[in-house]
Structure 1
Amino acid sequence: MAFSLGNDSGIGRRRFGGSNGTLSEINIVPLVDVVLVLLIIFMLTAHVMEFGLEIEVPKTTETRETAEDLPIVNISKTGAISLNEKKVNINEIPMLIKRDFKNAKKVYVRADKAGLVDPFVQVIAALGKAGITPQIVTQPLK
């Protein structure tokens, strides 16, 4: 009697419900509607919000060095090195900067874009060894 066709065979009954026909599923459509409405509200209000902190910057009496105060090391396309338009040897640069520019700790280094890389690296290394910070110029000084 593995197979029977009786009246009480269970055909027509719901899978999750009992014999009375009630549904026991969760309806998530209202939940999805609420979540989407909240998402839209947050997306619209995020553009209105202003981010950042108000900071009161302390006042100082110290003045910053201007571009005219700092020495400029130029490296030409051929690799010729000059300090403020005066041709110099690479070994003399740190000594001249310390002597002529009151021990300046920063130096602008400007090189031709089609120039050799080796003189540029040598200048940076010589300045670093002397404790001078090179400031690489990417646009012409104004």
Structure 2
Amino acid sequence: MAAKLSGGGAGRYQEEQNAEINVTPFVDVMLVLLIIFMVAAPMAAVTVEVALPPAVAPPSANPPKPVYISIKPDGRIYVQDFPSDLSTLGDDLRARLGESRNPTKERIFIRSDKDTLYGDFMGVMNMLQDNGFYSVALVGEEL
């Protein structure tokens, strides 16, 4: 005589599956952790009073507005939103920067279309160096 442990039928060894989750231990652990943090948090606070000296550093000024040069695919040049020419690029940049900003330390941002000819781009770069603008940043599209 053999016992039937699996398969169909309602035998005396058949077990039903229990799909319920017992959350009582989880709640107990969370309550213990809550109590521990409630007790430990006030002990972690600094209770020693110290007379701190005042900060004497002047607040930093807002950075100046960046200057952009845009190069279109057909070779047209723009300083900010204003059209420019390769021969007047240095003067136009100085006019946009103003008197208070130092052109040798100023960073110029170049935006160029992906279809711009390399010669047009290098002409702008050479003209910037000829006019004393040595800090140049290239702007690309974020992906």
Q: TM-score, normalised by structure 1?
A: 0.49
Asked which structure has the greater CA Rg, the reply is 1
